[in-house]
Amino acid sequence: MLKTLEFRKIGKSYPGVRALDSVSFKAEGGKVLALVGENGAGKSTLLKIMSGDQKADEGEILLNGKPVDFPDPRAAIAAGVAVIYQDRQLIPNMSVMENIFPDNLPRTRLGLFDKNKLYTKAKEIINTFGLPIDPAEQVGRLNVAYQQMVEIMKAYARNADIIAFDEPTAPLTDAEIEILFDLILKLKAEGKVVIYVSHRLAEIFKIADDIVVLKDGRLVKLLKAGETSEAELIRAMVGRDIGDTYANLSRNESFGKVMLEVKNLTTQYLRGVSFRVREGEIVGLAGLVGSGRTEVARALFGVDAVTGGEIIVNGRPVVLKSPGDAIKHGIALCPEDRKEQGLVMGHSLRDNVIMPFIDRLCKKIFVNRSKTTAVVNDAVKKYAIKTPSIEKTVAELSGGNQQKVILGRWTSEMLKTKVLILDEPTKGIDVGTKREIYQTICDFAKQGIAVLFISSELPEVINLSDSIIVMNNGRVAGSLTRGEATEEKVLSLAMQEAS
């Protein structure tokens, strides 16, 4: 008998926000159900309720037709429900086999830890999935993709019948995504209920059977993947037809003087990188994972030590030994990992916006409360940040709104940002909000800011950038104008053998 998971009239409210409003649908075993919607649609809240992390205010969950109650994650795990979040829940300094069986370590007759039996059990599961992983390897030494696989194997070892994936491909390369999809198809073939959350529409159509669309906490559409189109899905998600995501963007058409010049930049990871960004210009930085794109951003923001070369801002050579130095010279960075590197998740929206310039809002030792309120409210209004209060912690905001908080910080009138570095600014963000951020980036350029734009999504780089620098193995492999650039040309430079 195939397993089923059903949500009936699930409701959940937070102060000032109705996160879920009478959501009902059923996920069936042997199928992949995709859960889609804009940031803030309610997807993450539903997964938290499903995993026992949070409790619904109304409604019920039925497992195989019977009502269940998950007061905590342990209860959900015991019932065979597993949620694999973007933020992996592994113990880095423990082995792969210990992470696969964290709460079920085999023992000898004397009650001692049986390492050999644990190794054998873990090896059987690893072989089942066909992965080249040593059970004894410390999990923190694995790459991100294989850590993700360990999460899946942990759920498999617990005999989970219901497995949900929350944006699982965000940190993965194309080759690693194919491995993940093979594992998901294996789970599907075994009759598991698979729920898949992603903003990447191409993945939805590749992996899903059924699609549930949420908007503003409500279920707006149930679709069959094979009977719908990307345009129809986007229309259901955003409530309108947004057409070509890149069409009719209001762009800057003229550039000023060179604002950022990098000459033979060398670090532990970079080899003689050189390029220029003019006032009002968007320069895209393309390349494969590990090519050196993020390392360029880190060096320009004073995070990684520069061992050679020169950085020139507004015509003057600068020495950047810390992010504080970079900020003083007008360089701002929206990092790739906004949760770990860009925001203090437990602090308020207010605190996160004013963090780089709080000293400018102080009179003696006291913060000017009314001035900070005005500055933060200006950012909220400018970027249409959805929040009931500026005192809301950023951890409670959606991914898209978190990204807007970072943009609001760096483009505040309190900072005279000259160079804005955007590293994967649309990562984990829905298609409707992406369009808003694209226009925002164009608006930065129209204000005369020099923009360095990093993205793993080639259509973004090609359609948004005025010129493109392609990285390969820590060096510049070539450059292209927007008119010259195609995905084939960019990939050819990104993949060419290093000389």
In-domain check, residue 253: no
Residues 262, 234 within the same domain: no
The answer to whether residues 268 and 396 belong to one domain is: yes
Give the residues across from 468 on adjacent strands: 284, 480
* Total domain count, the chain: 2
Pair 331, 209 in one domain = no
Domain contains 66: yes
% of the chain exceeding 70 in pLDDT: 96
Q: What is the pLDDT of residues 429-486, one digit of tens each?
A: 777 778 888 998 999 999 999 999 999 888 889 999 999 999 998 999 999 998 999 8
Contacts of 421 (CB under 8 A, 6+ apart): 297, 300, 301, 331, 332, 333, 334, 451, 452, 454
Tokens of 229: 């189109």
Enter the tokens of residue 362: 């102080």
pLDDT in tens, 265-281: 999 999 999 999 999 99
Distance separating alpha carbons of residues 80 and 100, to the nearest angstrom: 15
The answer to whether the pTM exceeds 0.85 is: no
Work out the mean pLDDT of the chain and round it to a whole number.
88
Statement: residue 341 has pLDDT above 60: yes
Asked, for residue 320, whether it belongs to a domain, the answer is: yes
Mean pLDDT along residues 389-398: 89
The span from the first CA to the last CA of the chain, in angstroms, equals 58
Domain span at 130: 4-238
pLDDT for the residue numbered 339: 81
Domain match, 318 and 420 both? yes
Domain assignment present for 378: yes
Same-domain check for residues 160 and 282: no
Residue 196 is assigned to a structural domain of this protein? yes
The answer to whether residues 169 and 107 belong to one domain is yes
Residue at 250 is within a domain: no
DSSP letter assigned to residue 113: B
State the DSSP string of 349-412.
HHHHHHGGGGGGGEETTEE-HHHHHHHHHHHHHHTT---S-TTSBGGGS-HHHHHHHHHHHHTS
Return the pLDDT at 241: 57
Letter string b/e over residues 111-135, b meaning 16 or more CB atoms within 10 A of that residue's CB: eeebbeebbebbbebbeebebebeb
In which band, very low, low, confident or very high, does the pLDDT at 499 lie, cut at 50, 70 and 90?
very low
Residues 213 and 291 in one domain: no
The per-residue pLDDT for 497 is: 59
Distance of alpha carbon 234 from alpha carbon 455, whole angstroms: 22
Tell me the pLDDT tens digit for each residue of 405-438. 998 898 887 788 999 999 988 877 777 778 888 9
Nearest to 303 by CA among 330, 333, 259: 333
The 10s digit of each residue's pLDDT in 22-72 is 999 999 999 999 999 877 788 989 999 999 999 999 999 999 999 999 999
Question: Residue 411 domain-assigned?
Answer: yes
Statement to judge: residues 19 and 50 lie in one domain: yes
Q: Is residue 173, in this structure, part of any structural domain at all?
A: yes
Both 168 and 316 in one domain: the answer is no
Q: Comparing 152 with 26, which gets the higher pLDDT?
A: 26
Same domain for 233 and 160, yes or no, is yes
Q: What is the pLDDT of residues 292-335, one digit of tens each?
A: 999 999 999 999 999 999 999 999 999 999 999 999 999 999 98
Measured CA to CA in angstroms, residue 498 lies from 175, 366, 419, 475, 490 at distances of: 20, 55, 30, 9, 15
Distance CA 348, CA 364 (A): 23
243: confidence class by pLDDT, cuts 50, 70, 90: low
Q: Could you tell me if 337 and 211 lie in one domain?
A: no
Distance in angstroms (rounded) separating the CA atoms of residues 203 and 181: 9
Q: 264 and 194: one domain? A: no
* Cβ contact 30:188 at 8 Å: yes
Pairing of strands 17-28, 4-14: antiparallel
Q: What is the pLDDT of residue 240?
A: 60
The domain that holds 179 is classified in CATH as: 3.40.50.300
In this predicted structure, the answer to whether residue 197 has a pLDDT above a threshold of 60 is yes
Average pLDDT over residues 388-401: 88
The amino acid that residue 39 corresponds to is N
